[in-house]
Amino acid sequence: MGFRFLFPQISVGPNTENDLIQTIPGDRLADLVGRKSFAILIERSVYARGRVLSTQRHEVAWNGAAWSDPGAFQFRLAAAPAFDWRDPANLAFLETGISMLSDGEFAAPDGLAFYSSYPAASGKTYFSDNALKYGERNVIATHLRFGVLVACYPNILIDLDRDITESILFLNPYRSTVSGTVELEGTAASRNVAIPTLSGLRFDLAEMLPRGSRAWQGTVFVTSKARPVLMFCKHSAAQPNVVTTMEHSLAYYADDVQVAATQRARALFGQHVLRRIEEWRGRRAALKRALAPR
Amino acid sequence: MSQTTNYLCWCNGISAETFTAAIRANPRADLYEIARSVNLGTKCTSCLADVEDLYISLFQSAERPDMRVPRDERLPLRRRLWRFIDRLSPKVNVSVRHLAPVIRAPGVRTVVSLANSVAKKIGPVSAQADVSVAVRDAGGAVRHRFETRLRPGERTDVVASDHLAGAESIGTACVSILPRGGGVTGTLRPHFRVECRAAAGSVHTQGATGALSAFHLTPRGAPGERQSVFLMNCTGRRNVAKAVFTPHGGPSRQAAVPLAPNGAAWWHLPADGADHTELREVVIVGERNFKSYFVVGTAGFDRISLDHL
């Protein structure tokens, strides 16, 4: 079984302090195809404010041992004033698509998870997972079970006296406007947010604090009939370009907590066997890679 | 409209057949391009989940022969037999164990955050759960135990670093969750925060099973930036993690990091590199299973973030 392309991945763009570096793991990509030779197309586009800021296309071939152009797996976008997060609409995002050009298939359309790095010349580096543009099983399960996307982040901390706040980064890589509702658990605060097509929007949760309140901690929920890509970003309240962490959202897990006892027993047995196999394979492969001559 | 019509989009009256025909006509197009081309999901958008589900299921059937190698759609006898047995089997709750790193330093504390939150839109559909947190020091000794039952709508924070000794120390927090009764998993995945004087970083915990290796690519970062790998032993036996650091274009350096049973240690990366964007490679290989986080802090530790490897 195989797939001709991987589901597109979405990464948050840089700001004025932090660059964006995306590195696609070429060796894992080759493992995902498992053929002696094949060629792929990597397409990357950067979007903000409804416009395409740049597009790159790279054709790369695998000959069984090496890639023809390993540099194509890396993408860099430098920090710039155009990405100043003090304006919430200056949030850019990168869409990365990978498709097969030759014979061959990818083993799974969502089988290549990787992350992006955000180094700063004078601030602090942070990292972030990418998000799938579509095909995210938790998102689909939540939509099917509840009729809406219910995304959440249970670890929000806002303390304006300590310069700590948190923003939701809404990314809309789709061709129609996406709207959603933000609510802070246990409060009456609720806000509707609309994100225009091919745009990003930074929504500072401090805007939802009751008048006179300077601090809040708890869970934030975002509900939407559509499927915005969401990231949660802890940053300085005074200077939103100074970021501490960026985390993917948590689709409200719609899995049942109970499973059949027989199914559970099989899973435990399978995990035990896999762990033993992994002990042999993983240790040897990682050591070989670490000590390979460069 | 006929009741038997297989509509995907009721706003625009677009059928599943129209959608699948559009895919066949343009098999390499983006899902949302296809949907838009047939005016699907452009009004209320509530059908987009069904559209995605159908799209993925088309991959999994032989419906898109250009996208997927066809296979016999009929389930093998063994799988059908297991399905039948599973249907008759009693149900059990599945417990999970997670690990979180704990850092204690002047002005720095680590808080494990547990939430069984309820969204107004869907109500209290999540299961209640028995939660326990064991805080251990770097040597693996238990310093604190906390147990509670979280009902839908409840949350609790455990300041794990308060239970470690010394001005600067590290440890782990092991979180066990056992759901009670039925319901869905909801927001029960634990998170932790590392709070500094004027900043806070947060990330989710990871399963405590661990792995034998971890790999990370990290940029050099600003001068003075402190980058470390936080290692947690997932076993009750002594463990050694072999860490290999390779700066861009430079020779590899190795270190052996001993880990006490159920203990923790961190390994500080050398501050090599000319440019803040220069990528360096970190590979960790354990003798036994371990879990690791990548720690990045400013020189004075006034801003710290942790990311899982």
Q: pLDDT tens digits for B37-63?
A: 888 877 666 677 678 777 877 765 544
Is the pLDDT confidence value at B67 over 50? Answer: no
- The pTM (predicted TM-score) of the whole model is 0.85
Q: Compute φ and ψ for B34, nearest 5 degrees.
A: -65, -45
- pLDDT band of A80, cuts 50, 70, 90: very high
pLDDT higher at B309 or B295: B295
For the segment B12-21, the average pLDDT, to the nearest whole number, is: 84
Reduced to 3 states, what is the DSSP secondary structure of residue A263? helix
Q: What is the 3-state secondary structure (H, E, C) of B63-126?
A: CCCCCCCCCCCCCCHHHHHHHHHHHHCCEEECCEEEEEEEEEECCEEEEEEEEECCCCCCCCCE
Whether the CB-CB separation of B225 and B191 falls below 8 Å is answered with no
Contacts B189 to A, Cβ<8 Å: 154, 250, 253
Q: What is the C-alpha separation between B201 and B193, in angstroms, rounded?
A: 6
Select the residue of B85, B87, B201 nearest A234 (Cβ to Cβ): B201
For the segment B2-14, the average pLDDT, to the nearest whole number, is: 64
Is the pLDDT confidence value at B2 over 50? Answer: no
Select the residue of A250, A257, A289 nearest B184 (Cβ to Cβ): A257
Q: Compute φ and ψ for A290, nearest 5 degrees.
A: -65, -35
A277 Cβ under 8 Å from any chain B Cβ: no
Min Cα separation A21/chain B (Å):
8
Can you tell me the ipTM of this complex? Answer: 0.87
Q: What is the C-alpha separation between B304 and B286, in angstroms, rounded?
A: 25
Is the pLDDT confidence value at A71 over 80? Answer: yes
For the segment B88-113, the average pLDDT, to the nearest whole number, is: 94
Contacts A195 to B, Cβ<8 Å: none
Contacts A4 to B, Cβ<8 Å: 27-28, 66-67
A161-215 pLDDT, tens per residue?
Answer: 999 999 999 999 887 888 999 999 988 889 999 999 999 999 999 999 988 999 9
- pLDDT band of B90, cuts 50, 70, 90: very high
Contacts A279 to B, Cβ<8 Å: 212
CB contact under 8 A, B303 and A178: no
CB contact under 8 A, B307 and A150: no
Nearest to B147 by CA among B132, B125, B160: B132
Is the pLDDT confidence value at B5 over 50? Answer: no
Q: Is A200 exposed, middle or buried (0-12, 13-18, 19+ CB in 10 A)?
A: buried
Is the pLDDT confidence value at A278 over 50? Answer: yes
Quick one: closest CA in A to B225, which residue?
Answer: A124
- pLDDT band of B16, cuts 50, 70, 90: confident
